[in-house]
Amino acid sequence: MSLANGRTYLAIPGPSVMPERVLRAMMRSAPNIYTGEMVDMTHGLVPDLKTIAGTSQNLAMYITNGHGLWEASLSNVISRGDRVLSLVTGNFGSGWAGVARALGAQVAELDFGNRAALEVAQVINALKLDSHHTIKAVTCVHVDTATSVRNDIKALGAAMRDLGHPALLMVDCIASLGCDEFRFDDWNVDVMIAASQKGLMTPPGMGFIWFSDRALEAGKAADLRTPYWDWTGRATPAQLYEYFDGTAPTHHLYALRAAVDMILEEGLEAVWARHATLASAYHAAFAAWGCTELNIADPAARSNAVTTLRMTAPDATRLREWMEQEAGVTLGISLGLVDPASPEWHGFFRVGHMGHLNAHMVLGNIASLEAAFEALGIARGAGALEAATKVIAAGA
């Protein structure tokens, strides 16, 4: 007998829960990709995706995941041998730096560790030392899905603008778009990437690059651009075929249209507020338990899309297994914090709270975690569910 029978809940930090409306949108026959509804719908998605990113500039769409976007974004703006400054606050910041290095860039990493946000002053000091402006790009992650840290891109963009260094500011928003506030134009961002499977509530497989006119101009001299990754034709397509350099991902586009409609109908600022409230409810519960230590101590640097937790090993693995087998809830594993072969790896887990999420999903998961602690005999503090309900009641 298992109590997990019934509707399961994928509470990992992506792929996120797909709404029924999105799933229904995909359930149709293959469309005409040359004229008609599919073409019109794709043209209509472009301004709406720009609205979600907070920009009026340029957008290119790809059939790829986030790792492909790292390569696509860099190949459009740098040449072999160019200098790149990579700001690392976790597994995904170092991953993007690795791609830049593999493409032939000279990469310098500023590593801020796995438990804190980047320090803008250190970044500016590094750029000040580059008096000849040889650094072509600064890469960073808005929310690192592994550590759950959220970096202050607004402050970084303002500081780089005030310094006057010409390096492009490139930001990975794969975990944060549609969950945490982000304003491309207002925050002086030049390149931003995001994928379909997290805050955009669409199956994995589509990627997006928003880029400024300044990035477009700077990239004209880039010698790493290849035909498939080239964003030029994708940003100004004459026909649907050119958006994707080949056949369009038709059913992903139907799903994306439904998801984007849901975001815009709710209102982008309301979406951000919902995520902030529900994330805070989780944080309140984790603090009350005490046995689950939030990886990011500073509340201002915590993501509203994902939370990484530390606890005594192997209790995190025991917890994940019990939750999946007995409660029907799948929690996320640790990524990049410790060696998976190490016993310490079993002391980390992650909870995704992004996209299609509401109060009863969060409260139900917290109650299920409480049951797991009880069943496994894991000592913890009292009042977690009460703390979370107070946050949600106040937020409502």
Q: What does the pLDDT look like over 148-165, one tens digit per residue?
A: 999 999 999 999 999 999
**Paired residues of 169 in beta bridges:** 138
pLDDT at 128 over 90: yes
What mean pLDDT do residues 125-149 have?
98
Helix (H) or strand (E) holding 349: strand 348-352
Task: Indicate the range of 204-213, 234-243, 376-385 predicted with least confidence.
Answer: 234-243
**Paired residues of 349 in beta bridges:** 309
- Written in H, E and C, the secondary structure of 303-338 is CCCEEEEECCCCHHHHHHHHHHHHHCEEEECCCCCC
C-alpha–C-alpha distance, residues 83 and 100, integer Å: 9
pLDDT at 1 over 90: no
DSSP 301: G
Alpha helices, DSSP H only, in the chain?
20-26, 37-53, 66-75, 91-102, 120-128, 153-163, 213-218, 232-235, 240-243, 250-266, 268-289, 315-322, 359-376, 384-395
What mean pLDDT do residues 370-377 have?
98
What is the Cα 131 distance to its own chain's centre?
33
Could you tell me which residues come within 8 angstroms of residue 317 by beta carbon, excluding any fewer than 6 positions away?
345, 346, 349
**Which pair of tokens denotes residue 223?**
């010698």
Q: What does the pLDDT look like over 90-125, one tens digit per residue?
A: 999 999 999 999 999 999 999 999 999 999 999 999
What is the average pLDDT value for the chain, to the nearest integer? 97
CATH of domain 21-264: 3.40.640.10
Collapsing DSSP to helix, strand or coil, 59 comes out as: strand
What pLDDT does residue 60 have? 98
| Topology of the domain covering 9-16+267-395 | Aspartate Aminotransferase, domain 1 (3.90.1150)
| Domain edges within the chain | 9-16+267-395, 21-264
What mean pLDDT do residues 289-303 have?
97
By the 10 Å C-beta count (0-12 exposed, 13-18 middle, 19+ buried), 233 is classed as middle
Provide long-range contacts, Cβ within 8 A and 24+ apart, for 270-277.
271/178, 271/179, 272/179, 272/180, 272/181, 272/304, 273/395, 274/357, 274/358, 275/179, 275/180, 275/304, 275/305, 275/353, 275/354, 275/357, 276/304, 276/395, 277/391, 277/392, 277/395, 277/396
Collapsing DSSP to helix, strand or coil, 365 comes out as: helix
- Written in H, E and C, the secondary structure of 241-295 is HHHCCCCCCHHHHHHHHHHHHHHHHHCHHHHHHHHHHHHHHHHHHHHHHCCCEEC
pLDDT at 58 over 90: yes
pLDDT at 241 over 90: no
- Candidates 355, 299, 362; CA nearest to 329 is 362
What mean pLDDT do residues 227-256 have?
94
Tell me which amino acid residue 151 is.
Answer: N
What pLDDT does residue 239 have? 87
What mean pLDDT do residues 24-41 have?
94
C-alpha–C-alpha distance, residues 387 and 367, integer Å: 12
Detail the residues annotated as belonging to a binding site.
350
Collapsing DSSP to helix, strand or coil, 11 comes out as: strand
Global confidence as pTM: 0.96
Map tokens 């996120």 to a residue: 16
Detail the residues annotated as belonging to a binding site for substrate.
350
C-alpha–C-alpha distance, residues 49 and 254, integer Å: 14
- Candidates 190, 141, 194, 185; CA nearest to 167 is 190
